[in-house]
Amino acid sequence: MADHPVDEKLPALKMATTGLQHVAAMYAGVVAPPLIVGAAIGLSATDLTFLTGACLFTAGLATFLQTLGIWKIGARLPFVNGVTFAGVAPMTAIVASTEDKSDALPIIFGAVIVAGLLGFLAAPVFCKAIRFFPPVVTGSVITLIGISLLPVAFGWAQGPNPAADGYGSATNLGLAGATLLIVLLLRRFTRGFVKQIAVLLGLVVGTLIAIPFGVTDFGPVADAAVVGFPTPFHFGAPQFQLAAILSMCVVMVVSMTESTADMLALGEIVERPVDEKTIAAGLRADTLGSAISPLFNGFMCSAFAQNIGLVAMTRIRSRYVVAAGGGFLVLMGLCPMAASLIAVVPRPVLGGAGVVLFGSVAASGIQTLVRAGLDKDNNVLIVAVSLAVGIIPITAPEFYHAFPETARIVLDSGISTGCVAAVLLNLVFNHLGGGGRDARDVTHPMETGKELTGVPTAPAASS
């Protein structure tokens, strides 16, 4: 009996080239979180390069767990795993609330370890409780992730240092705009592999354009070693703070929910529908990869949805191709010079590409919401309130100023508060007690609708 295409082993050259394509499609997504968090802490170029390399290395390890699998760990599907965007906003909130910035990464690592281990234990139960995380919840949260990250891109577009004279200058904004335009043109007028790596090419071309303006620094590459290893606990032993742990546990729930949805989608694409056993195994890989990641100075890991689109486009369904991509990620993590290349990219160039990158995350959430049944009054209210709650830290950063610092680590993360609000509202409106009245009676929260008896309400008197 012939192997299923998922278990097919392709010729070495084809496996290598298609594996590299998967790396290209997700590379910008892997390096963005360490760049954001590292910049918030104020890491040196050397430490920022180290952190980026560590995230590439741990993404490769997590991808091995997911594609090759051991025991009951790993969905054994063509999944690429890497640093999840869902954790960026809570991690920057932890950084902001930490007085001594040198403690920020150890606190984050401790929280990720605990969240990963708890998620690993919860995987068999979580795959059964997925009905409490329908598209109306996951779509709201994914949209909030994108919205929460966009201000980071806008900050990058202005320059690396708000205190510098050139911050927000026409030169910096022009470089950001040029990079954005390049990415858009590549996405519009190219196809196939080039189209998939449009963001990466935009970063390269934008950096070249920036050279004459004197904002490109090649020092990190010159100072980086060719070979290196992400020394365990390079930034210090993990610290365990309750508020940070709670915040990352919320992120873990979001990540597990998104990974479950990705597994269901990928199973249909590769024509190997997943069951509860496969979902549980996939979630174990996600969570164990996340728990191990901080040992090598990496962050929480999750499935990368953009690579699912690549599988659908190329129709190459072999999990070994993605495992080969994981091997390239490990090699890049072991080569500090390769990891340092991203440190060369000027912040305005990163900002231009970030608009596309982070905006695409929000758009992905909106796509999920379209499938959520927004013709139902209950779902519209869930989305409306959860988005409003999640946007508070962005539009009114001092809204929770009177709360204790420990509570603000959670409250200042719009993703965390928005997720909690969406889950609770979904329970109240769509699960408990039948949701009061039939959600189909009203299609808009401002519409009059009908009473439960089916008798139309009297029209409003005209003025």
Higher pLDDT: 460 or 89? It is 89
Higher pLDDT: 310 or 441? It is 310
State the greatest distance between any 2 C-alpha atoms of the chain, in Å, as a whole number. Answer: 78
Q: Give 407-417 pLDDT, tens digit per residue.
A: 776 777 777 78
pLDDT score at 442? 41
Mean pLDDT calculated for residue range 324-335: 88
**pLDDT over 90 at 110, yes or no:** yes
Beta-carbon contacts of residue 129 (< 8 Å; ≥ 6 apart): none
Overall residue count recorded for the chain in this entry: 463
Choose the weakest-confidence range: 137-141, 269-273, 407-411, 437-441. 437-441
pTM: 0.68
**pLDDT over 60 at 121, yes or no:** yes
pLDDT score at 446? 41
Mean pLDDT calculated for residue range 380-406: 88
**pLDDT over 80 at 118, yes or no:** yes
Q: Give 70-104 pLDDT, tens digit per residue.
A: 888 988 888 888 888 778 878 888 898 888 888 99
Mean pLDDT calculated for residue range 417-427: 87
User: What is the rounded distance in angstroms from the CA atom of residue 70 to the CA atom of residue 5?
Assistant: 20
pLDDT band at 310 (very low <50, low <70, confident <90, very high): low
Mean pLDDT calculated for residue range 16-39: 79
Q: Give 225-250 pLDDT, tens digit per residue.
A: 777 788 899 999 999 998 889 889 98
pLDDT score at 389? 93
**pLDDT over 80 at 276, yes or no:** yes
Mean pLDDT calculated for residue range 119-126: 91
Higher pLDDT: 402 or 445? It is 402
**pLDDT over 80 at 161, yes or no:** no
DSSP state of 128: T
- The CB density around residue 62, as the number of other CB atoms within 10 Å, is 31
**Among residues 246, 262, 181, which one has the least CA distance to residue 410?**
246
pLDDT score at 63? 92
Phi, psi of 31 (to 5 degrees): -85, -20
Mean pLDDT calculated for residue range 36-40: 88
Higher pLDDT: 457 or 219? It is 219
Residue tagged 């620094």 (tokens): 217
According to the per-residue pLDDT averaged within each range, which of 112-116, 346-350, 363-367 is highest? 112-116
pLDDT score at 435? 52
**pLDDT over 60 at 175, yes or no:** yes
According to the per-residue pLDDT averaged within each range, which of 181-185, 255-259, 402-406 is highest? 181-185
**Among residues 110, 61, 380, 85, which one has the least CA distance to residue 254?**
85
